Amino acid sequence: MREYEVLYIVRADLDDDKVQDVVKRVNTLIERSGGAAERTNLWGKRKLAYEVKHQKEGSYVLQDFQIDQGRIPELEAALKITEEVLRHLIVRKPEKAAPAPVVPPPPAEVVLEPIAVEPEPVAVKSMADREEEES
């Protein structure tokens, strides 16, 4: 079984008791599909970005659960026909990676940088000085 989460929006015209009933119904759908509900997080009423089924607000619910991968379409079909649920999205949670062994960092390398030495000024000889040296 894999871990999933579903975020669904319940109609805002329902009172808190009715929202709890919808949450229980979704948990029952998960259990009937062979899954196990883990954690429910009620986010409360929020304004929707756009109107959905003539509703401008909705109560958001985030549910974590475990279920077999092949049972997801069955669960989605059941959520689609639930009248109180305006929208839903089921997402598979990332697999928990095994903790990596702690490797001590390699010893710091000592980098010796050369000291910047200013070049000695070069004397510019004029043509007259050169001619004198040649003679």
Q: Domain span at residue 11?
A: 2-92
Is residue 23 in a domain?
A: yes
Q: pLDDT of 8-60, one tens digit each?
A: 999 989 988 999 999 999 999 999 988 999 999 999 899 999 988 888 999 99
Establish if 15 belongs to a structural domain.
Answer: yes
Residue 54 is assigned to a structural domain of this protein: yes
Domain contains 8:
yes
Model pLDDT, residue 47: 92
Please state the domain count of the chain.
Answer: 1
Residue 6 maps to which CATH number? 3.30.70.60
Q: Confirm whether 127 is domain-assigned.
A: no
**Selection from 27, 26, 22 nearest residue 10 by Cα:** 22
With cut-offs at 50, 70 and 90, classify the pLDDT of residue 80.
Answer: very high
Residue 95 has a pLDDT of 80
Q: Is the pLDDT of residue 6 over 90?
A: yes
Secondary structure tally for the chain: helices H, strands E: 3, 4
